[in-house]
Structure 1
Amino acid sequence: MKLPARSRRPARPQSDGKREQIAAAALRVMLQKGVFDITTRKIAAEAEISVATLHYHFNDKEEIIFSVMENFVSQYRSRLNDALGDSTDLPQRIEVLIHFVCSEIRRAPAEQILLQEMSLYMLRHPEGQDLARAKDEHFQDLYASAFSQLVEDTPEAQQKLRALSNLIYTSLVGLFNQWLATQDDPLFARSADNLIIAAKAFAAAQGLSR
């Protein structure tokens, strides 16, 4: 997951783990206070460094937020790959993916809320809109990568795969918001099962299985 070019800073030599330290501190602050109320001063205080040191490693708060998001996605990808295992069946992978995301929502709802807040924050700031788009595209890419080896490597098949990933991604966002509002676990489970049925039917109708 890469920052848009205009927001990317070349890596500092001899960082000595400072970027990771700052990103970890930012995550703790955001989980406590939300995205909209954090400042670089609060992040620096949590990281026990000066504001000048923070700005040596990051341009601004938006770049720190994106770094936290990158860490989220990297860990998410690793857990998803473990969940998928060696399955070579597309319908099974669809089911595993959706169940995995639902389990992540239940495991750490505060982190999922934070991801939503990050998107809203970026969309409210003109300089962050490219970051919001990059985050959205990356999650769809992540879902598509779970299926890519099971689909023909042709432009038409890849376009259909992208549509399947978009269906799953946007539906899961809706399921998450509904669950947050209702805390209705049985409804959440039924909705997830319905999404699995719909996604499998879409994949079959598009002829996506090799």
Structure 2
Amino acid sequence: MNKPTTKSDLTRAQIIEGALRALSKTGVIGTTTRKIAAEAGVRLATLHYHFDSKSALLVAVLEKLIEQIAERMHQDRVAEDADMDQCIEQLLRGSWRAIAQTKAIQIVHYELTLYALREGIQWLAERQYEAYLRLYRDRLAVANRGSNQLSAAACTALARFILAGIDGLILQELAKPSAERSRRGIDALVTAAQAYARQLAQ
């Protein structure tokens, strides 16, 4: 993760962190730039100097969220000698551990997607989705070797399948929390993803 070095970078990072806190409290629609400035401890003029619109700030927030997810996934790295089955299991269980600790942020993720679609900024929703897809695909690449190696297209298809499954479990957990049900869901998703990987390798 790149750390801010200049005063301008530090202020920008401060605003983004303030935006994350504000979004977690009041959601995308209810969060104004004035509320973000207050949460960040900066003047409104300072916020607008660094970000000329709410959309520009939301892009920066999205990039921060993706960076945080990538960092968590890096900390829970897949063993270099893991086969595809092991990689899938480690990836899913590690991802779910990180997700379970950041429920408020998960809501912000979905709100950002819906906001982008409602406001006609489709590229922001696409950018968010592609970034998460790339994170999963890159992790799967660690185990994508040997006689049953997947093609690039198959590896992407497997990453899409895993991402779709994780998204469904997150929404279910947010709507009606149950750690035990989610654990069983992850178990089932691991098994299904492993079977799909074998199918794609044929």
TM-score, normalised via structure 1 length: 0.85
Give the alignment partner of residue 99 of structure 1, picking from 87, 90, 93: 93
Q: How does 1:128-147 map to 2 (within 5 A)?
A: 128-147=121-140
1:66 and 2:59 matched:
yes
Please list every run of 5 or more consecutive structure 2 residues that lacks an aligned counterpart in the other structure.
Answer: 1-5
- Please state how far the C-alpha of 1:45 moved relative to its aligned partner: 2.2
Q: Pick closer, same or farther for the CA change 1:157–1:16 going to 2, 3 Å.
A: closer
1:151–1:158 Cα contact (<8 Å) kept = no
CA distance in 1, matches of 2:32, 2:166: 30
TM-score, normalised via structure 2 length: 0.88
CA distance in 2, matches of 1:122, 1:143: 23
Between 1:60-69 and 1:84-93, the stretch displaced more is: 84-93
Query: What is the identity, as a one-letter code, of the residue corresponding to 2:54?
Result: K
Identical counterparts, % of pairs: 34
Q: How does 1:38-187 map to 2 (within 5 A)?
A: 38-88=31-81, 89-126=83-120, 128-151=121-144, 157-187=151-181
CA RMSD of aligned residues (A): 1.8
1:140–1:169 Cα contact (<8 Å) kept = yes
Query: What is the identity, as a one-letter code, of the residue corresponding to 1:180?
Result: L
CA deviation map 1:53-112 (0-9, x unaligned): 212211211121221221121121122122124343221111011111221222121111
- Please state how far the C-alpha of 1:182 moved relative to its aligned partner: 2.3
CA distance in 1, matches of 2:92, 2:111: 22
Q: Pick closer, same or farther for the CA change 1:163–1:67 going to 2, 3 Å.
A: same
> Could you say what secondary structure the match of 1:49 adopts?
coil
Please list every run of 5 or more consecutive structure 1 residues that lacks an aligned counterpart in the other structure.
Answer: 1-12
1:84–1:93 Cα contact (<8 Å) kept = no
Q: How many correspondences in the alignment?
A: 192
Query: What is the identity, as a one-letter code, of the residue corresponding to 2:101?
Result: R
